[in-house]
Structure 1
């Protein structure tokens, strides 16, 4: 049954014109407000991470730059992994609007406090680390809660559109933040960077607070409009908790019945150890090899992010079974990541990062589609939540390992190590064969597979 609409019947900008409907963010004011809040938070956290990484390498640390930047990136990626069970419990127990609003407001407060401290001078490195950890912790609650709350914001017929809108703009917001991060630090320092992030987070909190959410029902749709359905203790009502449905199976049991999926996850967890190191390598490479500034960091980050965005839209057109296509993409990514280790030319490096980003985006689309077909519907919520945590666990490890290595090896050597490290994962993926054994039937073509 289709849920009741969030807002009044379509009028003005939301009405049909010449048989066409206005974009979802315009005809659904609640979703539009929350979507804009997502754009602001994603841009802010990415801007902070890129900006501080560049500040550490270019201004704050003179010895052990690699270790310092690696520790910072590890701190920024650890909360999403370590707090996954806590986040899942909070999203299930508390009203989603409250979780979104509170996490954005707390992040804004942390960024504002850092801005005030930085304007006063004498900013300790440990304080910046703590701020990065605080922002990443808030974002770890905001992102999965936003994805979960989509059915409370839009009609059932618009869920796929809203999800696609959310995922695509997430990449665009991250790209915009990456462009602004290093440039802001070069011009306004950490104080200006933190002030910009604080404004974005607080604006997001206000936007979320202005949106009307609906109470989710047992069938996954949304009931009539309602404000935060909480009792006196701040938790959701018994009815809302009951709507969560039956207990999900553990990930161990799910993967035990899907060995093909399990092997793919192992391949990509291994590959992530080398691909995600690029976020530590880019600032080191810019300063030591290209002798560039914040503008160069912005160019390289933009090349990587643009490539990933293009790959996300075109990945389904890559021919062949997902494992074969994924193996080719990992092989191409290995070559692309190794190019900066051989050619120290800014346009060549930017082009190679664009190719690497395209491969990452294409691979993600193909395999998420494959998992959607292979994982039973009842197991998907638990599977995808823990899948993100498993893959994300490689981020802090890669940051620390490559950051520490950056104090002993040249950035060009690190680029070669990244490329070489992807080769075994590409080979293992190519040898996996068909998913028919897991599916219990002939494999279905996915995204152009034959």
Structure 2
């Protein structure tokens, strides 16, 4: 599974010394980058080329369609992850996305492309990604040793940062140069390459009585989604806080293209700059989040407060460098929040609950994305983009306060890391102070 370190006392990065995890991680980078490139590019295409007068609604509807599968298919995704080979599921998801993108590329190259075809392709890509992401999160213990879980989580969370960075840089630019045909072709190549990479990897067989390949004579008990969240009230409270925050943070993917077109009067390069600033900040936050001091709820509340200030900046100052800096700060906060909370999930959630839990986590956190996309898209056709930025900022303040007022955790992250097998940590007693789990913004 692993290669030797380069020298005594020094270790190579996890993606280099664990070739299996490195290949799967690179596959995730490619799938998410391809999907993100498609979303950014088609959103800009709708606002700048296809739609007339109602570009905000058109882009908002695209983003809503792109997030519905993760919410609507959560129970199906959980069952598929629990019953199917993880490698086969990951490979099928990547190959399915590549096929859908290739079909759209061929259609766009052969004739005029109807807008409905773009929406259909976005739905297909999002459906494949809804299976891919939670399956990979669940598979981390099958790819790395226990002591590498935090490092693997950091790399996995950084994937979205890399995807946002790469996809944002390329999406709008590719549309300006090659249209939707070139955009879809690039997405198809990225997903096809990911499917090939995953085919070369061997996953460890689970030895805890869970997952595909487990001993059928001793099946681990599985709980429903309601039972899982019901047994983790503190986790549920944190998820609700971040779900409320996502109603305002995720609107940035609709607001920024509108801001570029109506306030900055820019082109695809400007969209790429702003989107890349957000992705770069998230990437930095993913790798530095573990060093941020304080309890997760305190750190998370501070990050939401900082995001509120940063998102208000474009509503006051319409200067490209200033806005790029504000989005860099916003992205950094997103990365920190993800690392601080999701790493705890890997240790605190029982292994038998992980397939369902990570699927429902993605669904709960993404539930507001379609609403936010449609709401801010509609508002964007009637209010200025600057006003939308100020609305985003104001909406984060209550969520930050609610997170700050939650009870403190029973054990510190350091204690959990030092004693990962403690059953009281993984299964806290009902009378004990609950331990926080995860949240994040996407």
1:98 aligns with 2:100: no
1:344 aligns with 2:318: yes
TM superposition score normalised by structure 1? 0.84
What are the residue-to-residue correspondences of 1:253-402 with 2, within 5 Å? 253-369=227-343, 379=353, 382-402=356-376
- 1:367, distance to aligned residue in structure 2 (A): 3.3
The runs of 5 or more residues in structure 2 that have no matched partner are 412-427, 438-442
- 1:442, distance to aligned residue in structure 2 (A): 7.1
What are the residue-to-residue correspondences of 1:65-76 with 2, within 5 Å? 65-76=55-66
Where does residue 130 of structure 1 map in the other structure? 120
CA–CA separation in structure 2 for the residues paired with 1:97 and 1:299: 35
1:179 aligns with 2:169: yes
- 1:368, distance to aligned residue in structure 2 (A): 3.3
CA deviation vs aligned residue, 1:185-221 (integer Å, no higher than 9, x gap): 1111111111111111112222222333343333579
The runs of 5 or more residues in structure 1 that have no matched partner are 222-235
What are the residue-to-residue correspondences of 1:200-215 with 2, within 5 Å? 200-215=190-205
Where does residue 389 of structure 2 map in the other structure? 415
* Mapped contact 1:92–1:241 kept (Cα < 8 A): no
Where does residue 157 of structure 2 map in the other structure? 167
* Mapped contact 1:321–1:445 kept (Cα < 8 A): no
- 1:171, distance to aligned residue in structure 2 (A): 2.2
* Mapped contact 2:153–2:339 kept (Cα < 8 A): no
Q: Residue 88 of structure 1 is aligned with which of 74, 78, 90?
A: 78
- 1:326, distance to aligned residue in structure 2 (A): 2.5
Q: Residue 18 of structure 1 is aligned with which of 7, 31, 51?
A: 7
Give the secondary-structure state (helix, strand or coil) at the position aligned to 1:289.
helix
Where does residue 119 of structure 1 map in the other structure? 109
* Mapped contact 2:233–2:434 kept (Cα < 8 A): no
* Mapped contact 2:209–2:218 kept (Cα < 8 A): no
CA deviation vs aligned residue, 1:9-44 (integer Å, no higher than 9, x gap): x7xxx4444324544444444433333222211111
Where does residue 31 of structure 1 map in the other structure? 21
CA deviation vs aligned residue, 1:87-117 (integer Å, no higher than 9, x gap): 1111222222221222211211111111111
* Mapped contact 2:165–2:275 kept (Cα < 8 A): yes
Where does residue 406 of structure 2 map in the other structure? 432
Where does residue 227 of structure 1 map in the other structure? none
CA–CA separation in structure 2 for the residues paired with 1:366 and 1:15: 29
Where does residue 139 of structure 1 map in the other structure? 129
Where does residue 61 of structure 1 map in the other structure? 51
1:198 aligns with 2:188: yes
Q: Greater Rg, structure 1 or structure 2?
A: 1
CA–CA separation in structure 2 for the residues paired with 1:194 and 1:445: 40
* Mapped contact 1:269–1:394 kept (Cα < 8 A): yes
What are the residue-to-residue correspondences of 1:224-235 with 2, within 5 Å? none
* Mapped contact 2:154–2:286 kept (Cα < 8 A): no
- 1:182, distance to aligned residue in structure 2 (A): 0.8
Evaluate the alpha carbon distance shift between residue 250 and residue 357 of structure 1 in structure 2; reply closer, same or farther with a 3 A threshold. same
CA RMSD of aligned residues (A): 2.9
Evaluate the alpha carbon distance shift between residue 379 and residue 113 of structure 1 in structure 2; reply closer, same or farther with a 3 A threshold. closer
- 1:370, distance to aligned residue in structure 2 (A): 5.7
Evaluate the alpha carbon distance shift between residue 428 and residue 313 of structure 1 in structure 2; reply closer, same or farther with a 3 A threshold. same
* Mapped contact 2:409–2:436 kept (Cα < 8 A): no
CA–CA separation in structure 2 for the residues paired with 1:83 and 1:428: 29
